[in-house]
Amino acid sequence: MINKIVKSLKDAVANIHDDSTIMIGGFGEAGSPVELIHALIDKGSKNLTIISNNTGSGHVGLAALIENRQVKRMICSFPRTANSTVFPQLYNKNEIELELVPQGTLAERIRAGGAGIPAFYTRTSINTLLSKGKEHKFFDDNEYVLEYALKADFSLVKCNISDRYGNLTYHATARNFGPIMCTAAKETIVQSKKIVEIGDINPENVITPGIYVDKVIEIENPAHESELVESQIRYLC
């Protein structure tokens, strides 16, 4: 019988090793798998490459993972936002690497990785520093730049409802990068607000099919990153 439910956060992240490439879902606070990230901090895996939309806020979640010196490289679209202080400080000291990717390009590179598409051309970043050193080609008299797919060893994703097969639904915009990250990783680990019985999710409402999910853990009352930041919580190992 297929059952992808794990009972502890420790078990959920048990396979994540040093030097892993990890996709982490979320658009700012929306969809950020805070509990899984904190479990990864507790595990202590280092020299990680993180693919995410941003670099976290305050001293919790992804920002805490970075502050704990577990991340060597970020691939993201928004390395600095109103409450992101950790990454800018380390970057200015040359203590962490950054690959800056336009948000639409980031999404398509992840989607391509999950779809088995090795690379694609886009007009985004033409005539900017982000296209420097990349292959350029003209189609119909328009210049394009070549971008390569992104894949990962692991993805950490937050969903709203799951079943034990790993079929997932999301809450509104908290969906963001989750579905495509699930397809682009060798092992997908999901924290779900609620786990239901097989058949309780209408098949028409499934956004991520369970074939893309390896582990699911129920986090009934997930932390809200903004509340942790406002309370000046620091999560460090």
pLDDT in tens, the chain (237 residues): 799 999 999 999 999 999 999 999 999 889 999 999 999 999 999 999 999 999 999 999 999 999 999 999 999 999 998 788 899 999 999 999 999 999 999 999 999 999 999 999 999 999 999 999 999 999 999 999 999 999 999 999 999 999 999 999 999 999 999 999 999 999 999 999 999 999 999 999 999 999 999 999 999 999 999 999 999 999 977
What CA–CA distance (Å, rounded) separates 80 from 6?
Answer: 34
In a domain, 146, yes or no: no
Radius of gyration for the chain, computed over Cα atoms and rounded to the nearest angstrom: 18
In a domain, 142, yes or no: no
Q: What is the pLDDT of residue 82?
A: 79
User: How many residues are given for the chain?
Assistant: 237
The runs of H, that is alpha helices, within the chain are 9-12, 34-43, 61-67, 86-92, 103-115, 178-183, 225-230
For residues 23-56, b (16+ Cβ closer than 10 Å) or e, as one string?
bbbbbbbbbbbbbbbbbbbebebeebbbbbbbbb
In a domain, 55, yes or no: yes
Q: What is the pLDDT of residue 92?
A: 96
Nearest partner of 165 among 218, 206, 220, 211, judged by Cα: 211
Q: Is-contact 142 123, C-beta < 8 A?
A: yes
Q: What is the pLDDT of residue 84?
A: 87
In a domain, 124, yes or no: no
Nearest partner of 50 among 70, 27, 80, judged by Cα: 70
Domain count, the chain: 1
In a domain, 158, yes or no: yes
In a domain, 205, yes or no: yes
Residue 221, C-beta contacts closer than 8 angstroms, at least 6 positions apart: none
In a domain, 47, yes or no: yes
Q: What is the CATH number of the domain that holds 46?
A: 3.40.1080.10
- Terminal alpha carbon distance of the chain: 37
Residue 74, beta-bridge partner list: 50, 98
CA 167 to chain centre: 18
Domain around 35: 9-104+151-230
Q: Is-contact 64 37, C-beta < 8 A?
A: yes
In a domain, 3, yes or no: no
Helix (H, G, I), strand (E, B) or coil at 15: coil
What CA–CA distance (Å, rounded) separates 198 from 67?
Answer: 40
What CA–CA distance (Å, rounded) separates 34 from 191?
Answer: 9
Q: What is the pLDDT of residue 106?
A: 98
